[in-house]
A = this chain, B = another copy of it.
């Protein structure tokens, strides 16, 4: 195969095309990234390529919570110290990581793999909802925390899940809504501020 006009090498062009296929990476940026790789040690670049190849062949999705894992069951689901009676339902793996980083949650997770979004053509059948219902139905679950985005899609998904899970003997909760820590009141949107006033709590010194 010949390289395109301007490209001195087909291999260089292929590499630029691969990087430019990533979201948010234009052709100029892709070129800069490839030139950066070319300046590095060969071993380093080989390791980069091998890590990408191993991504698909070696990564697992946890059979219990559907999060990403190095083994069949993720480290959280296989941890005896976690409270298995409390399930935190999240949209994706980034959310698991964000909540884990707070150090405030000792239960286990359930990753839906998205939220209901008719605009994007994502319905309940595209999400891991059946397996969630199965867990609750089987018993041993006392609380399901719906930790989804505070968007219309998140609200829709919360409503759908509450219909599916409400018939079982389980407590459904959502994350507290209120003024974010560090936010100034005058810049807080009025819906958030309104909820923060209605749901006000006793002052602790």
Which residues does A use to contact B, with CB under 8 Å? 3, 5-12, 14-15, 18, 21-25, 29, 31-38, 42, 45-60, 62, 67-70, 74-76, 92-94, 96-97, 100-101
Contact = CB atoms under 8 A, between A and B. Distances in A.
Copies per assembly: 2
Majority secondary structure, A binding face: helix
B45 A53 contact: yes
A11 B42 contact: no
Nearest to A71: B9
B8 A74 contact: yes
Contact of A53 (B5, B38, B49): B49
Given A23-B33, A34-B55, A49-B49, 9 more contacts: A3-B75, A8-B96, A11-B51, A35-B93, A35-B94, A46-B53, A49-B52, A49-B55, A52-B52
Contacts of A21: 48
Contacts of A101: 5-6
B37 A5 contact: no
